[in-house]
Amino acid sequence: MTDVKRSALADALRERYLLERELGAGGMATVYLAQDVRHHRRVALKVLKPELAAVIGAERFLLGRRGMANTYRVPNLEQDLDFVGTNRLVQLAGVISLLSVAFSCAPASSPSTSAPRPIAVGACHALQPTSVGGPAAPPATIVLRWLGTANYEVTYKGKVVLLDAFIDRGPRNRPIGVAVKDMQRVDVILVGHGHWDHVADAATIARQSRAVVVGAASAIDVVRAAGLPLEQTRVVEGTGGELLQFEGFTVEPVLAHHSILLPDVLTKFREALTSVDSGPSQDEASAEAVIEARGSSDPTLGDRGTLAYLLTFDTGFRLIWLDSAGPITEAERSLMQRISRTDVAIVAYQGQYVADRQVAATFPLVKLFNPAVYLPAHHDKLAGLFLDIGLEPLFMAMRHDLPETQAMAPLYLSPVCLSAKPDQR
Ligand SMILES: [Zn+2]
C-alpha cells in the first residue's frame, strides 16, 4: 500500500486500532502490528488489498487463509490469529477476537467512495447470536454458538436453527446473555427431549419467531399445551425413514436414549448442594417452579422421547447433536454404519457427577459419531441439580483414543465458525 492509503487506513481504523508498523505483505494482504484500543493489547492486523476486497469479499478472504498464523507469527505478539487444526478450517472467533479487517480503500479520486471503510467480519466476530439480531453467517460458513445447557444456535445461509430452547434458566443460574423476548429470528427449533431444561422456552420463541418446533411426542405435547399451533410442530420418532427438508440443509431425527441418572444419587447430591449454598429463597423457588413446569415428565421420555439429530448441509457437511448422554441405541448404530463419520458432534457431558463415570457415558457416543470436531454441551451448572463439570478428562480420553478429533469448548455466545466444506479425512 502507498503511504497515502496507509494513512487513510490509519484514519479509518483509529477508533479501534492504532497502527504501529507494517510486518509484512503478501500477494493478497498487508499485515500490520497494531494496538487494539478497546482491549489494550497488541494484535496483528491483516488488511486485504482493496482491489481484492472488492472482488472476493472480506469474509471469504478471512475463511480462506489457513496457515496465516504460521506465516505471520511474531515473537511477543499475542496470537490473535489461530486456525485450529491443519487439515480443516476451524476458527474459534471468541478466542481469536480480531482476525482481519478488510479495507475497501478506493482511490482518492473516486467520487462514490471518498472515505476508506473497514468491513466488519460479521458473525465470526460478534458475540450477538443471529437469533437476536446479530449478523448472519458468512457465505459457505456454518456458525455455531453455545447458549448454555445443551442449547446451540446454528446459522447457515441466512437460516437459524436452535438446538433446544432453554434460555431463561432462572435466578440461580448464570445468565446466558440473551433474553427469550429478543429471539425473534429463528426458523427451526429442534428439541432433543421434553425435560424442562431443554424445552422450556420453545413455545415462546416459536410463537414470536414463527419457527417450526421438531421433537418427540412428549416434547411436542409441551409446546402444544403452551398454545403453539399444530402447524408449527412436527412430531418425529427417529426410528428410520424420516428426513425433514429445509432450505440449505436436511434434518434426520435418530432415536437416542436419555442419560441414566440414579434417583438415589440425584437426591443425595441435591441435599449436599443445599447444605453448601443453602438452597433457593422462596422467591427463587417460585421462579424455578414456573420454569420447571414448562417441561414433560412423561415416563417414556427415556427410551422413546430422546432424539439425536443429524443435520446434513447442502455441501455434504454433517453435524450431529445429542442433548443427553445415555446408552447407545440401535438407531444411532445403524446411522453411523451408514455414514461412518461426521464433521461436528455435539454430545452432552452431564448427569454422572464423577468424571470417570461421565467419560464412560459420553465418550462412547463421541467415538461412535467419529467427528472431525467435538463440542460439549450440558456441562455447565444447573442450580440445585448439576455442578459445572470439568471437560479435561473427556478431552484427554479423546486425545488418546480419537487423535483425529479436535475437541474445543466454546464459551456462551462465542461463535465457532466452520467452513461448510466437509472434512476430507
Ligand atoms: Zn433430561
Neighbours of ion ligand 1 (CB under 5 A): 195
Å from CA of 183 to ligand 1 middle: 23
Tell me: the pLDDT tens digits for 47-106?
766 655 444 443 433 333 332 322 222 222 323 333 323 233 333 333 333 333 333 222
Å from CA of 195 to ligand 1 middle: 5
> pLDDT-derived band of residue 113, with 50, 70 and 90 as boundaries?
very low
Tell me: the pLDDT tens digits for 158-205?
999 999 999 999 999 999 999 999 999 999 999 999 999 999 999 999
**The pLDDT value given to residue 74:** 28
> pLDDT-derived band of residue 116, with 50, 70 and 90 as boundaries?
very low
Correct CATH for 3-120 of 3.30.200, 3.40.50, 3.40.1350, 3.30.43: 3.30.200
Å from CA of 293 to ligand 1 middle: 14
C-alpha cell at 73: 507469527
Q: Is pLDDT at 287 greater than 50 in this prediction? A: yes
**The pLDDT value given to residue 101:** 34
Å from CA of 12 to ligand 1 middle: 50
Task: Enumerate the domain spans of the chain.
Answer: 3-120, 130-419
Q: Is pLDDT at 257 greater than 70 in this prediction? A: yes
Question: Positive or negative CA dihedral for 159, 163, 168, 174?
Answer: negative
**The pLDDT value given to residue 314:** 97
370, 341 contact by CB (below 8 A):
yes
Beta-bridge partners for 155:
143, 160
Å from CA of 425 to ligand 1 middle: 34
**The pLDDT value given to residue 41:** 64
Å from CA of 324 to ligand 1 middle: 6
> pLDDT-derived band of residue 261, with 50, 70 and 90 as boundaries?
confident
Å from CA of 275 to ligand 1 middle: 24
Strands (E), 236-273: 244-246, 249-255
Strands (E), 247-287: 249-255
**The pLDDT value given to residue 263:** 87
Å from CA of 372 to ligand 1 middle: 26
Å from CA of 193 to ligand 1 middle: 7
**The pLDDT value given to residue 10:** 74
Å from CA of 177 to ligand 1 middle: 23
C-alpha cell at 64: 480462506
Å from CA of 370 to ligand 1 middle: 24
**The pLDDT value given to residue 34:** 74
C-alpha cell at 13: 481504523
Phi, psi angle pair for 52, to nearest 5°: -80, -35
**The pLDDT value given to residue 173:** 96
Å from CA of 48 to ligand 1 middle: 47
Å from CA of 402 to ligand 1 middle: 27
Å from CA of 261 to ligand 1 middle: 9
Å from CA of 168 to ligand 1 middle: 16
**The pLDDT value given to residue 24:** 75
Å from CA of 164 to ligand 1 middle: 11
Global pTM reads 0.75
Å from CA of 170 to ligand 1 middle: 17
C-alpha cell at 58: 472480506
Cα Rg of the chain, angstroms: 23
Å from CA of 124 to ligand 1 middle: 31
Å from CA of 258 to ligand 1 middle: 6
Å from CA of 192 to ligand 1 middle: 9
CATH architecture group of domain 130-419: 4-Layer Sandwich (3.60)
Å from CA of 369 to ligand 1 middle: 20
Å from CA of 197 to ligand 1 middle: 7
Å from CA of 153 to ligand 1 middle: 19
Å from CA of 254 to ligand 1 middle: 16
Å from CA of 339 to ligand 1 middle: 27
**The pLDDT value given to residue 208:** 98
**The pLDDT value given to residue 275:** 87
Query: At 71, which amino acid appears?
Result: T
Strands (E), 93-170: 102-104, 117-119, 141-146, 152-156, 159-163
What is the Cβ-side half-sphere exposure of residue 78, based on CA atoms within 13 angstroms?
Answer: 15
Tell me: the pLDDT tens digits for 370-425?
999 999 999 999 999 999 999 999 999 999 999 999 999 999 999 999 999 998 67
Å from CA of 341 to ligand 1 middle: 26
Å from CA of 70 to ligand 1 middle: 44
Q: Is pLDDT at 135 greater than 80 in this prediction? A: yes
Å from CA of 381 to ligand 1 middle: 14
| Pairwise pLDDT comparison (94 vs 157), residue with the higher score | 157
- pLDDT more than 90, % of the chain: 66
Å from CA of 349 to ligand 1 middle: 12
